[in-house]
Structure 1
């Protein structure tokens, strides 16, 4: 049984799963919708509790942003787990604040410098704990003494590559890195851009949620024009505001299937949304990460720390960031070939050993000369989690 928003019902049922409509609410308040998030959570918990009581599942798995299923499970005495569909956002001594875009410090001085912000960050997480406990009290649940109460202490599943997780000592309790979620809606192939087949193929994959003006897409088309590359760019159902200049070596489309297209590509230019980023890494592509906002900054920092991408710093020229890797970076021995053949990282602290910091190699690139070997990855890793 999958409880999520009604827009996903056809996809849920296509996978052979049962569907239940989830209460639909905005996680963050807006000017048009000023209702506080925890008020929405309390209302949604009553609806989801009815479903949990009727189904009596063995376990409830809830997305990190959807608290109602977790609270409903607790009210019904059902074990619950949290699925985090990206890197672990919880802080740790010496870490930079999450989503700031700063990498893991290399020195004790750097760790102490970031530690100066700990009191400010602690005030924020304690405020969140108090607000959650107030909601729990209204639902008849006892207060929590720990922060990050929306993440299960029974089981937390981190849906990313272990190589993108910073080392933590001690590790978070009951937390396991399980690999990224790579489901996508079904979509067919698109025609590739014309040009010399020996030229590298670049995919420009902008965010579906950020950069409404498509600045990165425009900058990539401009920066890669005239280079000996083939460029496939997608608007991702977000038309460009105004006419677009598409160079002769590029093709602009409305949508592409990443699972069918990225295995053919050499380089992916993206905003570093987690789903796009891990798909590109899985396909063995070199990545140019141009973060737009929020956790994109964190994703870009993590993949740069792991030595698997070039990240454009905030405020830098998108054109320069998109053009230079095609000339030098992807030609270097360090970044050429399958990720499994690349070095393990650069300028980084030593990783602890153990199940939470696997030393497994990065995924190897499929043979692009044999289309039948390309795995069209509608994996069973399900993107819909109870509560939407």
Structure 2
């Protein structure tokens, strides 16, 4: 007897790719039927997994892009966060309606949904369908201890005053989340949520049964998280490459510089910093490879590249990342997971969202240095290349990931839940 699993994700690479990786692995189980539900922009990548594709939110990809990747920094600005929430709420209401229609006739036996798809849980609950959350940024999950997230990248407070600061920060975050829907004119009831929080204090947008945290527990701070959370490690998946492997010049060390697929407004500063650093590092036999993060992307006409800087539109992390000696990245969940799995030290330059929280964890885990001033990028690159402790720590984390592959852990858990 076969069982059906539906996976739901937005089209953004950092959220979509882990879900696609899970789908591609589950498809190999002959007694499972697998579907992936997302927007039109994700359909070509879904096809590459072998799973069936179901389109959601037809015609909404431009709106989704505007919501998740605005041309400015959001940070902790309450006004910008409320604006983002207002646009998101309208999409979630529509998503709930489409999921009800999709599941009314063909109900899956289990749903796995990216944490940003807030309408999935209430809809599944209303139809009696079990559901789990996939979470590439579990630092965002509220806990009963430890530092809050989205307040600039706090480290755990030390002593009574530090713990009091963390507790005050957690109360602030919860208070803002409670009032934000009203400020945005959004009604939780419209997506089937009676409240943002359950009686036990856990967040209702995450599964009460299982939250798959897609980072290695080795880099996380000890926090009293909900019992449903399980650290399974990163899902390493990139859609099938359409270009040849990178050509790396022999006889030198190679460092990838990337801001991922989001924060397009940051790329001009990234290009400028990479160009300055490359001019310095070339004399030390270090070649920088800059990824622009978008297929077909290119630098503006007339931009002069110094010796030692090579520009790519995109880089296939799964295939090519392990060939580098270090990575400069922004702390996004996708490149973060691939870098850790490859055992590479990194320079982390956080600019928005959960990135400062990831940066704090990477630095404290000893696998990265944080870039505070762009003009010091070359110095930071030399530091991670020459510091054996940083590489040793990165290698130790990589071994923990390799010893317990996330996809096998998730597949075993899904099979056990379905009884197949």
Deviation per CA, 1:33-83, whole angstroms, max 9, x where unpaired?
995533432232121111122221111111111122222211211111111
Which structure 2 residue ranges, 5 or more long, are not aligned? 1-34, 71-79, 412-420
Q: Please give the alpha-carbon distance, in whole angstroms, between the structure 2 residues aligned to 1:81 and 1:199.
A: 45
Q: Please give the alpha-carbon distance, in whole angstroms, between the structure 1 residues aligned to 2:219 and 2:113.
A: 22
Q: State the partner residue of 1:284.
A: 343
Q: Please give the alpha-carbon distance, in whole angstroms, between the structure 2 residues aligned to 1:210 and 1:218.
A: 15
Higher helix share: 2
Give 1:13 deviation, angstroms.
Answer: 1.9
Deviation per CA, 1:88-126, whole angstroms, max 9, x where unpaired?
312333414435222223444322223333443231233
Q: State the partner residue of 1:386.
A: none
TM-score by length of 2: 0.72
Q: Please give the alpha-carbon distance, in whole angstroms, between the structure 2 residues aligned to 1:68 and 1:42.
A: 7
Match of residue 259, structure 1, among 318, 341, 356: 318
Match of residue 172, structure 2, among 116, 120, 138: 120
* Contact kept in structure 1, 2:365 and 2:393, CA below 8 Å: no
Q: State the partner residue of 2:113.
A: 62
Q: State the partner residue of 2:17.
A: none
Q: Please give the alpha-carbon distance, in whole angstroms, between the structure 2 residues aligned to 1:239 and 1:7.
A: 21
Deviation per CA, 1:173-196, whole angstroms, max 9, x where unpaired?
2111111122212223344343xx
Q: Please give the alpha-carbon distance, in whole angstroms, between the structure 1 residues aligned to 2:117 and 2:409.
A: 21
Match status 1:199 vs 2:252: yes
Q: State the partner residue of 1:98.
A: 150
- What SS is found at the alignment partner of 2:346? strand
Q: Please give the alpha-carbon distance, in whole angstroms, between the structure 1 residues aligned to 2:328 and 2:36.
A: 33
Alpha-carbon spacing, 1:140–1:242, altered in 2? closer, same or farther (3 Å): closer
* Contact kept in structure 2, 1:81 and 1:154, CA below 8 Å: yes
Q: State the partner residue of 1:335.
A: 390
Alpha-carbon spacing, 1:283–1:55, altered in 2? closer, same or farther (3 Å): same
Matches within 5 A, 1:222-241: 222-225=276-279, 226=282, 227-237=284-294, 238-241=297-300
Q: State the partner residue of 2:125.
A: 74
* Contact kept in structure 1, 2:348 and 2:369, CA below 8 Å: yes
Alpha-carbon spacing, 1:33–1:233, altered in 2? closer, same or farther (3 Å): closer
Deviation per CA, 1:136-164, whole angstroms, max 9, x where unpaired?
54567755544521011111111111112
Give 1:337 deviation, angstroms.
Answer: 5.2
Match of residue 149, structure 1, among 204, 217, 231: 204
Q: State the partner residue of 1:2.
A: 36
Deviates more, 1:39-48 or 1:239-248: 239-248
Q: Please give the alpha-carbon distance, in whole angstroms, between the structure 2 residues aligned to 1:193 and 1:186.
A: 21
* Contact kept in structure 2, 1:58 and 1:78, CA below 8 Å: yes
Alpha-carbon spacing, 1:34–1:168, altered in 2? closer, same or farther (3 Å): closer
Q: Please give the alpha-carbon distance, in whole angstroms, between the structure 1 residues aligned to 2:116 and 2:396.
A: 36
Deviation per CA, 1:344-380, whole angstroms, max 9, x where unpaired?
xxxxxxxxxxxxxxxx94457xxxxxxxxxxxxx999
Q: Please give the alpha-carbon distance, in whole angstroms, between the structure 1 residues aligned to 2:113 and 2:289.
A: 36
Q: State the partner residue of 1:208.
A: 261
Alpha-carbon spacing, 1:236–1:38, altered in 2? closer, same or farther (3 Å): closer
TM-score by length of 1: 0.78
Matches within 5 A, 1:221-370: 221-225=275-279, 226=282, 227-237=284-294, 238-241=297-300, 243-313=302-372, 317-320=373-376, 322-336=377-391, 339-341=394-396, 361-363=399-401
Aligned residues: 346
Give 1:167 deviation, angstroms.
Answer: 0.9
Q: Please give the alpha-carbon distance, in whole angstroms, between the structure 2 residues aligned to 1:140 and 1:271.
A: 35
Match of residue 163, structure 1, among 218, 223, 233: 218
Q: State the partner residue of 2:8.
A: none
Give 1:244 deviation, angstroms.
Answer: 2.9
Q: Please give the alpha-carbon distance, in whole angstroms, between the structure 2 residues aligned to 1:45 and 1:288.
A: 40
